[in-house]
Amino acid sequence: MVGTAGHVDHGKTALIRALTGRETDRLPEERQRGISIELGFAPFSLPSGRRAAVVDVPGHERFVHHMLAGAQGMDIVLLVVAADEGVMPQTREHLDILSLLDVPQGIVCLTKIDLVDPEWRALVLDDLHRELQGTFLENAPVVPISSVTGEGIQELLQLLEEALDGMRPRSAIGPMRLPIDRVFTLAGFGTVVTGTLVSGQVQVDDRLEIMPGGISVRVRGLQSHGLPRDLCRAGERTAVNLSGIERSDVARGQVLATPGSVVQTMQVTLHLGLLDGAPPLPVRTRVRLHLGTAEVIGRIIPLDAAEIPPGGQGYARFRAEEPMAAAARDRFVLRSFSPPHTIGGGIVLDVYGHQRRFRREDIEDLERRQKAAPEEMVLGAVRRSFAQKDGQLALELGLPQPTVQEAAGMLAAGGSLRRLGDTWLDAEELDRRVERTDRAMRELRAKDPLWRGMDRAGWRRDVVPEIEARGAAQLVQELADAGRLRLAGDRVLPAGAAEPLPEALQRDLDGLAQFLDAGGLQPGAPGEWMQAGAVGAGRLEDMLAYLQAEGRVVRAGDIWFGQGAVAQAERLLRDALAGGREATTAQLREALGTSRKFAVPLLEHFDQQRMTRRFGDVRRLLERGQA
């Protein structure tokens, strides 16, 4: 993505016309006045055949906010300076903006050389070199160009080729994000948004959302560099045809993104630097924050001083007057509210509206966020919340997804983090929670020999409430495989073999099981056994639950059966319903050889076990896997 910058009427649009053969001024007013007002875009081919795109930005001071929308996403900038005028106010402001946005590299284009003699050109070049000292373009190549005669165009194309050869491609891994810089409607297609894809990738039929607003949309079609595409990747100029949204519902400044990957917020924490010529920035100064393609008005609250001085740096909170979409590590430009002038810029550190104060520990935390290595940032973010998904980490920290995954992988290899699906856990905190729950389970078992462990839902609530049920089930199985705990059906028990039951209690349990077994398909009530004086009433329910967990008794409705009797009933029912036969409740009661009191609960039990199903007045066997 190639961009232009420079003062009004210095030949940016004419240069693009010479490079691409296309006219980027679309509006009648632009052609009438001879200046660019809106952003213009054109694809073109480099000498190697590689396709690129160029964005033409307005140079007039009234349209700097449009220039800022086009400057985000630039891989290389062409700073245009006219040889007949030299460096002008918007040259300097555009250069400041490019520096604040951390545009990686550029080429200086000295245009309109056909209008000046060699001596004047040399004077302008000397002045230009002085202006560029100390900037990211200090050592950039300077190409004299005439868009009229074509002089310098081929040299510029070759320099662009060489610059792009050495450029590291943007990663397409991670959530898709496209700051919208243009919206229009095409007859027969509907709403189209355009922008530079800053991360991830997008393909036809993807479900995305527009933020702020949270509007759900579907991708109907894609174009890049003027050609239809099925898939576009980070770094590419992209036009997206959307369904599910009207033209009036979307505007420049919003972001098209993977659902859940962009935060809608009214407040962000910043690291801010002011330009040398900027006025001081005291508390609650009203400013314009340019973030992506958005211009948001709000107030700045410095956090580590009463004000930020000219040329100074500091941490600040920005409170917006309307919702905005933001991600940590995004770069921004700050302009005064009225009259609007560029006064500074920096990076977003926190998008979640944390209420930071003037305390030293808050400032130290921000300093760590700004300067920390990826591993330190990832570990800190996970430890703050115990569990973090890949996408959440990348969003909160403002790091590319591959960088987050690499850093988290290194931390996992060192034992600091644990991987669970797409979620990273704080391994130390997880160990503490597992050990605490293990101790609690051992204490319960010591107090009550009949205690049969925690149900899995209870274990999840106690140990990992931050994780969804499927992830918790995976974790409990991994811990059981590692010998950290023991599973018995749907129950979780402490690691190690269970203590043997007291002899008297074991004798009572055996007696109760034998009582139910002896009754077959017409068992007596457990209370009858209890009344015989074997145990006290307070223990009967616990004993039945213990035997049920052991698989020795089965509860069908309100009746308890011995496991042997239930197995016998299953055989009888399968024989009665074999070959696709069906039978009424009365017929099946006869097959079981018991009364309706016991037959009906047993039949309903097998319905619940999905062995049989009732169809009106009859039942049939279900095939395995049949619902």
* Residue 60 annotated among the catalytic residues of the structure: yes
Based on the domain organization, do 32 and 149 belong to the same domain?
Answer: yes
pLDDT exceeds cutoff 90 at 28: no
CB 320 within 8 A of CB 348: no
Based on the domain organization, do 10 and 128 belong to the same domain?
Answer: yes
* Domain CATH number, residue 337: 2.40.30.10
pLDDT at 625: 45
> Considering 4, 7, 10, 13, which one is annotated as catalytic?
13
Last residue within a domain, chosen from 334, 365, 396:
365
Alpha helix (H) residue ranges in 7-100: 12-20, 28-33, 64-71, 89-100
pLDDT at 358: 60
pLDDT band at 183 (very low <50, low <70, confident <90, very high): very high
pLDDT band at 391 (very low <50, low <70, confident <90, very high): confident
* Domain CATH number, residue 474: 1.10.10.10
* 171 located within any domain: no
Residue that wins the pLDDT comparison between 240 and 62: 240
Based on the domain organization, do 486 and 595 belong to the same domain?
Answer: no
pLDDT at 306: 87
> Considering 9, 75, 350, 426, which one is annotated as catalytic?
9
pLDDT at 27: 63
pLDDT exceeds cutoff 80 at 353: no
Based on the domain organization, do 210 and 348 belong to the same domain?
Answer: no
Based on the domain organization, do 415 and 346 belong to the same domain?
Answer: no
Based on the domain organization, do 411 and 479 belong to the same domain?
Answer: yes
pLDDT band at 294 (very low <50, low <70, confident <90, very high): very high
Written as one letter, the residue type at 371 is K
Name the domain count of the chain: 5
* Residue 12 annotated among the catalytic residues of the structure: yes
Interatomic CA distance for residues 458 and 348, integer angstroms: 40
Based on the domain organization, do 110 and 244 belong to the same domain?
Answer: no
> Considering 60, 84, 135, 304, which one is annotated as catalytic?
60
pLDDT at 30: 56
* 90 located within any domain: yes
Overall pTM surpassing 0.85 (yes/no): no
Based on the domain organization, do 156 and 10 belong to the same domain?
Answer: yes
Condensed to tens digits (0 to 9), the pLDDT of residues 85-142 reads: 999 988 999 999 999 999 889 999 999 999 999 999 999 999 999 999 999 999 999 9
The DSSP result for 423-489, as a single string, is EEEEHHHHHHHHHHHHHHHHHHHHH-TT---EEHHHHHHHH-TTS-HHHHHHHHHHHHHTTSEEEET
**DSSP 8-class letter at 597:** H
Based on the domain organization, do 16 and 103 belong to the same domain?
Answer: yes
* 626 located within any domain: no
pLDDT at 35: 66
How many C-beta neighbours within 10 Å does residue 438 have?
Answer: 19
Domain that residue 195 falls in: 177-257
**DSSP 8-class letter at 580:** G
In the block, which residue shows the tokens 């232009």? 4
* 41 located within any domain: yes
* 408 located within any domain: yes
Last residue within a domain, chosen from 499, 526, 541:
499
Based on the domain organization, do 32 and 153 belong to the same domain?
Answer: yes
* 170 located within any domain: no
Interatomic CA distance for residues 164 and 90, integer angstroms: 27
> Considering 10, 12, 225, 271, which one is annotated as catalytic?
12
Last residue within a domain, chosen from 101, 130, 165:
165
How many C-beta neighbours within 10 Å does residue 507 have?
Answer: 12
pLDDT band at 29 (very low <50, low <70, confident <90, very high): confident
Based on the domain organization, do 361 and 382 belong to the same domain?
Answer: no
Based on the domain organization, do 99 and 45 belong to the same domain?
Answer: yes
pLDDT exceeds cutoff 90 at 144: yes
* 627 located within any domain: no
Condensed to tens digits (0 to 9), the pLDDT of residues 478-510 reads: 999 998 998 877 788 888 766 677 787 888 888
